[in-house]
């Protein structure tokens, strides 16, 4: 028996209290799109374990990759040493990411990849004698992680700014893009970010954004045209562009990387989440040569080096996951999921509790008019045989790409049924 009492007394779960923890469900196994609970119930995973498990659980190719690498070495320090898995992974990432991103920093988690990106942007200017470009310009509705620099560029209202305002770097925030995905972007839509850049570019090192899909900050999908215009503005005002594709990378939005919707290359790119197909914690920050030269010239060195940097086990798994993705009909799968999500979720619109629905790639969102009670929702979904974890007013899914038609239907039916209960 899984000792839930011990868990409740001793273990922190994400964003919970140690005095009034929310219930957690004991999992013993996971296979394909199914998460199996200790009591034998099997839940269809609508969350892909927070965007990660794009190929599903217990994937034979990935299992093999882990075992193979385990027999050679699970880890070795990256200071002064290197290895094939890191080199192969870097080669793959340089090849498949947008053009001119060719220097790779491999770290252990998404938040760290964002810290590294922001540090790169600041060091880029410092090493060229410019001490005043030390702020970052972010968008309202953004989410970039939970460490301090990452928090400081998350949405200032829904993020954690109020808790830590005295110990967090102060940054600028432009309005959340009002122009939606599949729509054009007017001059008025970029006026907020344009104005901040115009007035403060001398203090701004970089713009950071999640291309096309703002994830945990509100599941908001915006115009590719907006992204293209931001790229132009960044060049115009001599500000670097950081694209955080930790959630959108590896096919989730229907393109391998969301930047491709606008045909742009950022100066710095953050990857994580689905990088290892959800098997192990790994992230990467890629940059172009302009950034690496700026940091490195006149004897500059980039000041970051985590203990588990370039972990071979995780790198080998990432290589296997990326090859598995590229060898699969992922685009067709994601397109099919998008079509089915759009059709199925349409029915939710008839419910009075529903504000709107949005879909892009393998992401489906039902925005409710009122906040959802997480505990009640979770119990409901588990009773329906699915795993869906809403936040705020948002009921959303981003299933593994291998999900079948029937399984996806079970997820969308459960969402529809839930909207009827509130
Ligand atoms: C999840 C996420 C992060 C943080 O990644 P962690 O691995 O949780 O630290 C950063 N940016 C985006 C867009 C994310 O979705």
Write down the catalytic residue from 5, 6, 15, 406.
15
The pTM of this model reads: 0.98
pLDDT of residue 161: 82
Percent of the chain with pLDDT over 90: 96
Choice from 117, 139, 143, 153 to test ligand 1 binding pocket (greatest atom count within 8 A of CB): 143
Query: Is 181 among the residues known to form the active site?
Result: no
pLDDT tops 90 at residue 99: yes
Shortest-distance atom of ligand 1 to CA 273: 7
Quick one: average pLDDT of 185-206?
98
Q: How open is the CA angle 7-375-346, to the nearest 5 degrees?
A: 135
Q: Where is average pLDDT lowest: 156-170, 324-338, 359-373, 404-418?
A: 156-170
pLDDT of residue 160: 84
260 alpha carbon to ligand 1 midpoint, in Å?
Answer: 20
pLDDT tops 90 at residue 95: yes
**In the chain, ranges of CATH 3.40.640.10 domains:** 72-326
39 alpha carbon to ligand 1 midpoint, in Å?
Answer: 31
pLDDT of residue 303: 97
**In the chain, ranges of CATH 3.90.1150.10 domains:** 4-58+329-421
pLDDT tops 90 at residue 403: yes
pLDDT of residue 98: 98
pLDDT tops 90 at residue 328: yes
Quick one: average pLDDT of 329-350?
98
**Ligand 1, atom 7: closest residue by C-alpha:** 110
> Are the C-beta atoms of 317 and 64 separated by less than 8 Å?
no
Quick one: average pLDDT of 380-384?
98
Query: What are 379's two structure tokens?
Result: 């119990």
Beta partners for residue 135, in sequence order: 204
CATH number of the domain at 72-326, please?
Answer: 3.40.640.10
Query: Is 119 among the residues known to form the active site?
Result: no
Query: Is 226 among the residues known to form the active site?
Result: no
Percent of the chain with pLDDT over 70: 100
Give, to the nearest 10 degrees, the angle between helix 312-327 and helix 84-96: 40
From the options 3.40.50.150, 3.40.50.300, 3.90.1150.10, 3.40.50.2000, give the CATH code of 4-58+329-421.
Answer: 3.90.1150.10
pLDDT of residue 168: 87
Write down the catalytic residue from 155, 244, 267, 344.
244
Quick one: average pLDDT of 361-369?
98
């Amino acid at each position: 028996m899984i000792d839930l009492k011990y868990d409740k007394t001793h273990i922190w779960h994400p964003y919970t209290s140690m005095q009034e923890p929310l219930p957690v469900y004991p999992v013993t196994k996971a296979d394909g799109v199914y998460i199996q609970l200790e009591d034998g119930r099997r839940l269809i995973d609508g969350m892909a374990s927070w965007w990660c498990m794009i190929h599903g659980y217990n994937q034979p190719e990935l299992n093999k990759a882990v075992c193979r690498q385990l027999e050679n070495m699970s880890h070795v320090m990256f200071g002064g040493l290197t290895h094939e898995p890191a080199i192969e992974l870097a080669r793959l990432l340089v090849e498949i990411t947008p053009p001119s991103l060719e220097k790779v920093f491999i770290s252990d988690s998404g938040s760290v990849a964002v810290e590294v990106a922001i540090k790169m942007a600041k060091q880029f200017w410092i090493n060229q004698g410019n001490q005043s470009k030390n702020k970052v310009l972010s968008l309202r509705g953004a989410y970039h992680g939970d460490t301090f620099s990452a928090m400081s560029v998350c949405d200032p209202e829904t993020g954690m700014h109020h808790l830590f305002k005295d110990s967090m770097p102060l940054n600028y925030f432009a309005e959340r893009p009002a122009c939606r995905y599949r729509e054009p972007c007017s001059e008025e839509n970029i006026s907020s970010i344009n104005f901040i850049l115009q007035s403060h570019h001398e203090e701004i090192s970089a713009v950071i954004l999640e291309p096309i899909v703002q994830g945990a900050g509100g599941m908001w999908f915006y115009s590719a045209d907006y992204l293209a215009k931001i790229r132009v503005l960044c060049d115009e005002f001599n500000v670097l562009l950081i694209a955080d594709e930790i959630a959108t990378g590896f096919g989730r939005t229907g393109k391998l990387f969301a930047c491709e919707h606008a045909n742009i290359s950022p100066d710095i790119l953050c990857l994580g989440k689905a990088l290892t197909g959800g098997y192990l914690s790994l992230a990467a920050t890629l940059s172009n040569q302009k950034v690496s030269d700026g940091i490195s010239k006149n004897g500059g060195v980039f000041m970051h080096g985590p203990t588990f940097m370039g972990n071979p086990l995780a790198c080998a798994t990432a290589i296997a996951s990326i090859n598995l993705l590229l060898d699969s009909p992922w685009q067709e799968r994601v397109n099919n999921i998008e079509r089915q999500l759009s059709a199925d979720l349409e029915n939710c619109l008839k419910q009075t509790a529903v504000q709107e629905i949005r879909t892009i790639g393998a992401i489906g969102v039902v925005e409710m008019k009122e906040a959802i009670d997480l505990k009640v929702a979770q119990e409901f979904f588990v009773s329906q045989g699915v795993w869906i974890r809403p936040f705020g007013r948002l009921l959303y899914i981003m299933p593994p790409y291998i999900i079948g038609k029937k399984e996806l239907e079970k997820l969308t039916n459960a969402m529809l049924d839930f909207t009827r209960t509130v």
